[in-house]
Structure 1
């Protein structure tokens, strides 16, 4: 085994520690339940705002309204 300078070893350890801390911070941010919920919510809002989806939902709502009114009248 080659002799290595202790100062270089210390620098490598410090660099590895910093990289590990950055990785842990990144993983913690990605696994944050609030961030995940916000991402899902914004994705759903974008999906529902598409014209085809909005029209389909409006049609389903109108159909349900007609069915409920007919059920009440009977």
Structure 2
């Protein structure tokens, strides 16, 4: 059964609107700022773990010690 041109145009317009909404949502999700914020919150979440925090402090202290040792040698 053949469809009326008005019905086809209506379907096309609905598809365009749905596509526009999808593209807007993808644009929002793929924005670089969102990736940065996600990575930042992930890293900060890792530092809440005492094991990670202590490990980073020990590594930083060793680096400072190595630098000072080279400077005053």
Q: TM-score band (shorter)?
A: 0.7 to 0.9
- Specify the SS of the correspondent of 1:4: coil
Alignment RMSD: 1.8
Unpaired runs of 5+ residues, structure 1, are: none
- Specify the SS of the correspondent of 1:7: helix
Counterpart for residue 45 of structure 1? 44
The CA deviation string for residues 15-51 of structure 1, in whole angstroms up to 9 with x for no partner, is: 1011100111112112212222222222222122322
Aligned equivalents of 1:24, 1:69: Cα separation in 2? 54
TM-score (norm 2): 0.77
- State how many pairs are aligned: 73
TM-score (norm 1): 0.76
Counterpart for residue 33 of structure 1? 32
Unpaired runs of 5+ residues, structure 2, are: none
| Correspondences of 1:1-74 after superposition (within 5 Å) | 2-74=1-73
Consecutive aligned runs of 4 or more in structure 1 exceeding 3 Å deviation: none
- Specify the SS of the correspondent of 1:68: helix
